[in-house]
Amino acid sequence: MNNEVVIKCENISKTFPTADGTAFDVIADFSIEVNKNEFVVLIGPGQCGKTTLINIIAGLEEATSGIVTVGGELVTEPDPKIGVVYQETNLFPWLTVMGNVEFGPKAQGESKASRQERAQKYIDLVGLTGFENQHPNKLSGGMQQRVGIARVYTNEPLVLLLDEPFGHLDAQTRYLMEEELEKIWRQERRTVLFVTNNLEEAIFLADRIVLMTNCPSTVKQEYIIDLPRPRDITSREFLKIREEISKNLDLTS
């Protein structure tokens, strides 16, 4: 394991004002480090502040206190080196699959040949070869998430933040997407922070799992998952880890 820290959150707190004038503490003193090419999964109850934290790391939201650095630089605003995939794919409906995937480098002024070559590589990698000229509304939910993943990879960000990207998918498609994502990550290593509320998904994907508490949320516990990849979710070792973590996991909020 390479121990160069790429994402670093130090003592992050976030308080939202509420309608009645009181303060709502969502995140309190949250610290985490993600090493280069490490796959860390954050797991916690609904409404515990996972998306808020992702938005803070992405530079879309300001922490009330604490600091975030990515690649050693303070995050103060969105930056192309920080790629984000949300539960909602937010694809441009008027653009084709290729149009969506090449969007970032096109906006940066990269030449057509160069950006489309890279876009094609990731379209192929996510299994969408032949769908380049389709529009997103013609694709299933799982395929739309594949476009989202190809798009974020094509931007070649330093880090990937994935916020419950498979949360809207049916169980079958979800398994398939977890397998695909894990395969892509083994081929194209990236520093990943992945958010979920699904323990099986977390153990399938993670080098390390970080458990969050309820609001105001902080780190409850960390688990190193050193099972060989790709993982067999029915293996004894897998089930043993699942049992151990679930003792500590309260996903009700």
Nearer CB in complex with Mg ion: 97/209: 209
Give the type of residue at 150: A
| Count, residues in the chain | 253
Nearer CB in complex with ligand ADP: 13/51: 51
Strand segments, DSSP code E, in the chain are 5-17, 23-35, 39-43, 65-70, 73-74, 82-85, 159-163, 191-196, 208-212, 219-224
Shortest distance in whole angstroms from residue 46 CB to ligand ADP: 5
Buried b / exposed e over 70-104, threshold 16 CB at 10 Å, is bbeeebeeebeebbbbbbebebeeeebbbbbbbbb
Nearer CB in complex with ligand ADP: 95/219: 219
Segment near Mg ion (CB under 5 A); pick from 45-53, 132-140, 148-156, 207-215: 45-53
Shortest distance in whole angstroms from residue 167 CB to Mg ion: 8
Q: Is the dihedral of CA 115, 120, 122, 126 positive or negative?
A: positive
**Binding residue for Mg ion, selected from 13, 15, 37, 51, defined by CB under 5 A:** 51
Nearer CB in complex with ligand ADP: 53/98: 53
Residues 28-67 that bind ligand ADP (CB under 6 A): 46-52
Q: Which residue has the tokens 């299994």?
A: 127
Shortest distance in whole angstroms from residue 79 CB to ligand ADP: 21
Binding site for ligand ADP (CB under 6 A): 16, 26, 46-52
Binding site for Mg ion (CB under 5 A): 50-51
